[in-house]
Chain A
């Protein structure tokens, strides 16, 4: 029912957007300040791997989890395979549409001592999120405070966001969403789910559930510039290492660890739904660098046209002058 209402309001929204665009009022463009985006600091040296955050995430977000209709409509061609997690809601050792946060563990040696480091993993909330910017339908969105989320009423489940995300965070559930109302056999495949940083709690002035519940205060949240300062100070004080400050051009999730992230990355289990800890270059930055070419293009085009015009008119004149005079 709510799905239908939202779809109707989607169409209305589309019409409203046309009106806004037609009136030419740039109400929406804003060079939001990256420094002020909401960022979390995770001091993973403090994490004891109790899993309270994972439980709290499910507790407050269960209402957002998919309730797919079964059986799923048959999809063509055969390559389009359903992804169904609805019977595996209790899986907590990886990311799924029903589990947006999980604890990775790494057995490492710190100062000659064998230790297990536990790392809460979920969406990094990139400052320029490719999952949002490259979604072909605008189903994924970034809020003014930097949070990225996928709108379950608009997502068609093509999973492009998962492919362009350097950590392959979003997870698909088939049998739910807008694609069922369009051409379920030929396009779309459900809805993508991931941590939405408890955007609704934040709007009410509360903290994300995982931050609030942690008995060790592993996480704290604040404006990005302040969190970066704190992370650097913490890393200096503990001889630690930072992850997320520059990864993918910068994220709003900053980890500080007592061991280098290359070491952690080798020690954790990675794969589907289990993100790595490698260093990541700026995904959007590479294409954005090409924009200079776009800016020069019209000038080059005009210059070439003017050049051609004068060349031909000079030739014309010369031809006229060469004509025998009477």
Chain B
């Protein structure tokens, strides 16, 4: 039980920092004085938020693989994904997929078409907004990922 809770807290912490550093890719935290709050100065440093986003992405991919493998191995009899669970899972997979393409784009020599880059940037942002709203809904209405 405690192991499950640890994973849950680590997952939440990762989601929190990946979202924050993700929004830090846009030049907003300095303009809106958020980076002036003591301890939050790093939010305005684009290279720092970029590294943090990458580190959190590695953790999120690791957790996702852990949870999906666990889910498959345990079999569907033990627990089943709920509708909101499916929705959140799909959004996370979409975020990971667009994110991986953006990571590839960032390597030298990978010159993607402009339309594809715009599509990836905007869909990554749209997916995270949808994920946040869905998560808020699930928090308020106490929706769980799985049924026992």
**Which residues of chain A have a CB within 8 Å of any CB of chain B?**
10, 13-14, 16-18, 20-21, 27-34, 77, 79-80, 127-128, 133-134, 136-138, 141-144, 151, 154, 158-160, 163-164, 187, 249-250, 283-284, 286-288, 290-291, 293-294, 296-302, 304-306, 308-309
Contact = CB atoms under 8 A, between A and B. Distances in A.
A309 B66 CA distance: 11
Interface string B22-37: 0001111011110000
B109 A304 contact: no
* Max chain B Cβ within 10 angstroms of own Cβ: one of A151, A159, A250, A304: A304
Interface stretch (B46-54, B82-90, B128-136, B137-145): B46-54
A22 to B, nearest CB: 10
Contacts of B69: 301-302, 305-306, 309
B4 to A, nearest CB: 10
Given A144-B111, A158-B27, A290-B54, A28 B64 contact: no
Interface string B50-71: 1100110111011111111110
A29 B70 contact: no
Contact of A30 (B100, B111, B120): B111
A298 B65 contact: yes
3 closest A-B pairs (Cβ-Cβ)? A301-B65, A28-B113, A17-B115
Nearest to B3: A308
Contacts of B33: 77, 79
Contacts of B109: 31-34, 127-128
Given A284-B106, A291-B103, A142 B111 contact: yes
Q: Say whether chain B's binding surface is mostly helix, strand, loop, or mixed.
A: helix
B111 A309 contact: no
Nearest to A250: B108
A28 B58 contact: no
Contacts of B59: 297
Contacts of A163: 27, 46
A160 B24 CA distance: 11
A32 B32 CA distance: 39
Contact of B31 (A20, A79, A283): A79
Contacts of A300: 62, 65
B76 to A, nearest CB: 15
A304 B116 contact: no
A124 to B, nearest CB: 14
Nearest to B103: A291
B110 to A, nearest CB: 6
B16 interface: no
A293 B57 CA distance: 9
Interface of B: 3, 25-28, 30-33, 46-47, 50-51, 54-55, 57-59, 61-70, 73-74, 100, 103-123
A14 B122 contact: yes
B52 to A, nearest CB: 10
A220 to B, nearest CB: 24
Contact of A284 (B32, B58, B108, B118): B108
A305 B67 contact: yes
Contact of A301 (B63, B114, B119, B120): B63
A290 B51 contact: yes
Contact of A297 (B26, B58, B103, B122): B58
Nearest to B107: A288
B64 A301 contact: yes
Contact of B108 (A28, A128, A302): A128
Nearest to B115: A17
Given A138-B114, A138-B121, A288-B106, A297 B65 contact: yes
Given A136-B26, A136-B121, A28 B50 contact: no
A137 B61 contact: no
Contact of B58 (A79, A133, A294): A294
Contacts of A293: 54-55, 58
14 contacts: A17-B113, A33-B109, A77-B31, A79-B33, A127-B109, A134-B50, A136-B121, A138-B117, A158-B27, A160-B27, A249-B108, A294-B103, A301-B66, A304-B66
Given A301-B69, A309-B70, A287 B51 contact: yes
B119 A17 contact: yes
Contacts of A20: 113, 115-116, 119
